[in-house]
Amino acid sequence: MTWIHACTVQQVPEDEGFRVPTTPPIAVFRVADEFFAVGDTCTHDEFSLAEGYLDGDVVECPLHMARFCLRTGKVLAPPAIIPLETYPVRRDGDDLFVDVPERTDDR
């Protein structure tokens, strides 16, 4: 795993998401004083979850209303059936870092 600089705290408004332009993209969410990072693409139909609706630690895809737990990636409402990838988040002052898998040449 590799820690990457994802964004600053200020780039993630409370109860909203921020899309990190990695490959694949990651979404960072702020819920109260906690930060969560998940795969940004809805597993049901390719759509950015950073644009989704938050209800506590649950994000809802605005396209077809699939819901996911930001803590575990677990699917909470169909039509999605595949969970999201989750990533550890570390805060260092005003900077947020996400621990992502190392890429290999065959990806």
Q: Is the pLDDT of residue 100 over 60?
A: yes
pLDDT in tens, 42-59: 999 989 999 999 999 999
pLDDT score of 4? 97
Which class would CATH give 2-100? mainly beta
Q: Is 49 helix (H, G, I), strand (E, B) or coil?
A: helix
This prediction's pTM: 0.92
CA distances, 81 to each of 3, 21, 97, 104, 106 (Å): 29, 25, 28, 28, 27
